[in-house]
Structure 1
Amino acid sequence: MREIPYRTIGNRTLLLRVSPPWEAAGSPAPAAVFYHGGGWVKGHWTQFEPQAARLNALGVLTVLVEYRTEGPVAANEDAVAAMNAVVERSPELGCDPSRIVAIGGSAGGQLALATAVLKLPNTNPDHRPAALVLLNPVTNTAGEFPVGFGRNHFNDDDHALRYSPLQHVDENTPPTLVLHGTADSAVHHQSSVEFVEKVNRSGGQAELVLYDDQRHGFFNPRSTEPRQPGNPDDEYFERTTQEMERFVRRMVANNA
């Protein structure tokens, strides 16, 4: 795993953790850029290491993004800067900038969406990802549960709407896979239903997989032992990761 600085804020340098495909390809590899969850105020870049390893096995280069957990404004600035860095440095990284999927969980889902649908400072429309995978994502920052998540982090309604992906999707929204548990008490699954329906009505392409009785973060592995298929402790890690693999293979890794 390579550690690549992508932004310095004050005395802190933020890093991209980059892992190449397990088998070298003859051409630039597709890439997956991961944004961890934690409500923009906690969490760690290591959250998606297990899923990243699975995509490395598919021939995908993976990037685990470290960002500031100082609220959504700082986190969104870093999310956009990280995607810009991946695209701009793609020859050095060995990835194909036209085959990037942004992946995020919870508030990290909002960050992945920020790189795809929001118009924020330093947003470059040429640096949009080709696809999205979102796990119990925050898609509406204009309200609190059950309508949305995170309104209290913003100055006023207009400020909240600026960062709310639901209000910014259109026909240019990248193809999107959303995975959500129906017992989520942090980010209501109905917000994902509404989001997917709006993307599809707008002319985009989105699909939703719901998991009955599963709570927030259900996709994280629960066991500390090596993740073997069939381990009952990791049932939902396995099921969601297989969905992710299927979608990534179809959208960006068809040649991997």
Structure 2
Amino acid sequence: MKVKHILILAFILIVAGKSFSQQQIVYKQIDSIKLVMELHRPESMDFNKEYPAMVFFFGGGWNKGTIKQFEPHAKYFSKRGMVCFLVDYRVRERHHTTPIESLKDAKSAIRYIKEHASEFQIDTSKIVASGASAGGQLAAATALISDYNETSDDVSINCKPNALVLFNPAIDNGPAGVGYNKIGDAYKNFSPLHNIEKGAPPTILFLGTNDYLIPVETVKYYQTVMQKVGSTCELHLYEGKKHGFFNYNKFENYRDTIIHTDNFLVSLGYLDPESKVKIE
């Protein structure tokens, strides 16, 4: 093993203090608040190779939530050959913050990952942002929203991901959407639906037709606007399913959305179609 690679491995292990394949890393500190991301790596990695990455943001209305929500997804996609990150961010119940701070943290997380891409062995042209509900809004906003950057961030590092995987995302934050009561007129520069432009990354979107927060008409309109600007937006509707239908505890739905996501990432050239693994 080359000296450079030994040093990289030592850096990761020292920072994380955990097993090689799963670690927690502090990516940001605001006063006494330390924000972490949990890293899930493929068990066997070629130190001369770069890997695609997937960054997950939990749901919870920008009020609460846990990185454990997407742990099954991270375990699956790390087995498929991706470096996966479960990102903690500031929420109202724990940090007395607004959705604006949540978005700043999401952007900081992706910038941190890109800044340390060589240590993580990441191909920065193949970074996928994913999330559910408010976390889906954050994932989409890192790609579409130019405002709300942390003053301590190096904004020369582009925080935009290359693809999006969104589960019942709160993509409309306008007066008729989700979160307007928290951000008011800031929605004009916060809401993904209101800021879709040419160059928006390819997206796959999942929604249950009985979702009490996200109307089917909203995601269909989002898809229409994405297509108008020339971007891929693959939409999967689940008849009669409610908000959070895709979580691991609803295994058949979880499995189906994993299959569609896997096929989507294969279509982008991020995953090897011949290296499928069991969904469990």
Tell me the TM-score normalised to structure 1 length. Answer: 0.90
Partner of 1:246: 263
Q: Which amino acid aligns with 2:202?
A: P
Alpha carbons 1:100, 1:252 under 8 Å: kept? no
1:63 maps onto 2:85 in alignment: yes
Q: Retained in 1: the 8 A contact 2:81–2:271?
A: no
- C-alpha deviation, 1:195, in angstroms: 0.7
Q: 2:169 is matched by which residue type in structure 1?
A: P
1:140 counterpart = 2:140: no
Contact 1:177 1:206 in 2 (8 A): yes
1:149: which partner in 2? 178
Contact kept, 8 Å, 2:103 with 2:148, in 1: the verdict is no
Equivalent residues of 1:30, 1:252 under 8 A apart: no
Query: 1:51 — aligned with what?
Result: 73
Residue in 1 that maps onto 2:121: 94
Q: Give CA-to-partner distance per residue, 1:136-167, whole Å, 9 cap, x none.
A: 00111013xxx42110001x32x122110011
- Match status 1:131 vs 2:144: no
Provide the secondary structure at the position in 2 that maps to 1:249. helix
- For each residue in 1:25-67, what CA deviation from the matched residue of structure 2 results, as whole angstroms up to 9, or x when unmatched? 4411100000000000111111100011110111011000000
1:190-236 C-alpha deviation (Å, 9 max, x unpaired): 211111111101221111010000000000022xxxxxxxxxx5110
* Aligned-pair CA distance for 1:10: 1.7
SS at match of 1:127: coil
Do 1:170 and 1:203's aligned partners in 2 also have CA atoms closer than 8 Å?
no
Residues 74-117 of structure 1 show CA distances to partners (whole Å, capped at 9, x for unaligned) of: 10010000010011111111111111000011110110011101
Q: What's the CA shift for 1:189?
A: 2.4
* Correspondence for 1:119: 146
Question: What residue identity is the alignment partner of 1:132?
Answer: L
Among 53, 57, 63, which residue is 1:31 paired with? 53
Taking the aligned partners of 1:84 and 1:135, their CA distance within structure 2 comes to 23
- 1:153-191 per-position Cα deviation (integer Å, ceiling 9, x unaligned): 01x32x122110011111210000001100000222221
1:187-206 residue pairs with structure 2 within 5 A?
Answer: 187-206=214-233
Q: How does 1:197-216 map to 2 (within 5 A)?
A: 197-216=224-243
Superposed, which structure 2 residues align to 1:179-190 within 5 Å? 179-190=206-217
- Show structure 2 runs of 5+ residues with no match: 1-21, 93-97, 150-154, 276-280
C-alpha distance in structure 2 between counterparts of 1:214 and 1:125, whole Å: 39
Structure-1 separation of matches of 2:121 and 2:147? 27
Name the SS for the 1:27 alignment partner: coil
* Secondary structure of 2:74 counterpart: helix
Q: Which moves more between the two structures, 24-33 or 177-186?
A: 24-33
Matched, 1:6 2:6: no
Instruction: Tell me what 2:18 maps to.
Output: none
Instruction: Tell me the TM-score normalized by structure 2.
Output: 0.82
- In 1, Cα distance between equivalents of 2:170 and 2:195: 13
Q: Which residue does the alignment assign to 2:19?
A: none
